[in-house]
Copies of this chain bind each other. A is one copy, B any other.
Amino acid sequence: MDTRSEPTLDRLDAKAQHLLFTGARTANTFADTPVTDAELSDIWELAKWAPTSANSQPLRVLFVRPGPGRDRLVKHMNEGNRAKTASAPAVAVLAQDTEFHTHIPTVLPFRPELKDVFAGNDTMRTSTATFNATLQAGYFILAVRAHGLAAGPMSGFDAAGVDAEFFPDGRHRSILVVNIGHPGKDPWLGRLPRLPHDDVVQWI
């Protein structure tokens, strides 16, 4: 029996809530401690299970290690993000696959014809790619934290420049860059305020 196939519905304990949500923080500095390729692979192997519309899974991940690849990425980051990315032992460039629908017969075997529906409707295909890749970016950030690593997600970069640099065939569009590593010296800002509950939540 594949033990992963049967859901259990306990509650997440306080320690795990702390790790992923209540105690987690965006890291702004990183220690020299390396992040292994196995850790990076495992992050994806966890994040991949969370749900997407029509099981579309449009997110793609480019893991960037220290060296020439990271140097190529750093130059496309906004100035205020360059030092962070330049010191991160690993960085993930998260992108949406604009041709994700070519995989539909594999990922949605009971409805393969949806591939052609997406192929014929650019607006629906693009909105599905953007929305679901972004959902998956949220899962990805929490999956980094689930591996005992600090995440530093950043929207401040030249997406067109990153795409030209790393995805020259035009199929992938970058949506977020995430520094990954062990926190360095003075890694966290003070906790910024969250909106009051009643400014966010309504009831009916």
Nearest chain B CB to A27's CB is how many angstroms away? 9
Complex contact B139–A195 (CB within 8 A): no
Nearest chain B CB to A108's CB is how many angstroms away? 7
Complex contact B155–A53 (CB within 8 A): yes
Nearest chain B CB to A85's CB is how many angstroms away? 13
Complex contact A6–B21 (CB within 8 A): no
Size class of A's contact patch? 35 or more
| A153 at the B interface (CB under 8 A) | yes
Interface residues of A in 14-47 (CB under 8 A from B): 15-26, 37, 41, 44-47
Nearest chain B CB to A136's CB is how many angstroms away? 7
| A8 at the B interface (CB under 8 A) | yes
Give the number of copies in the complex: 2
| A185 at the B interface (CB under 8 A) | no
Complex contact B146–A17 (CB within 8 A): yes
Nearest chain B CB to A60's CB is how many angstroms away? 6
Complex contact B195–A103 (CB within 8 A): yes
Bound complex: CA A63 to CA B16 (Å): 25
Task: Say which residue of B41, B156, B201 sits within 8 Å of A41 (CB atoms).
Answer: B201
With a cutoff of 8 Å between Cβ atoms, the chain B residues found around residue A5 in the complex are 23, 191
Interface residues of A in 85-140 (CB under 8 A from B): 103, 106-109, 128, 131, 134-139
Complex contact B23–A65 (CB within 8 A): no
Closest partner residue, chain B, to A203 (CB atom): B63
Supply 6 A–B pairs (Cβ within 8 Å), ascending by A: A4-B22, A8-B15, A20-B20, A50-B138, A63-B203, A69-B204
Q: 8 shortest A-B CB distances, which residue pairs?
A: A138-B138, A69-B204, A12-B146, A134-B134, A135-B138, A11-B148, A16-B16, A21-B49
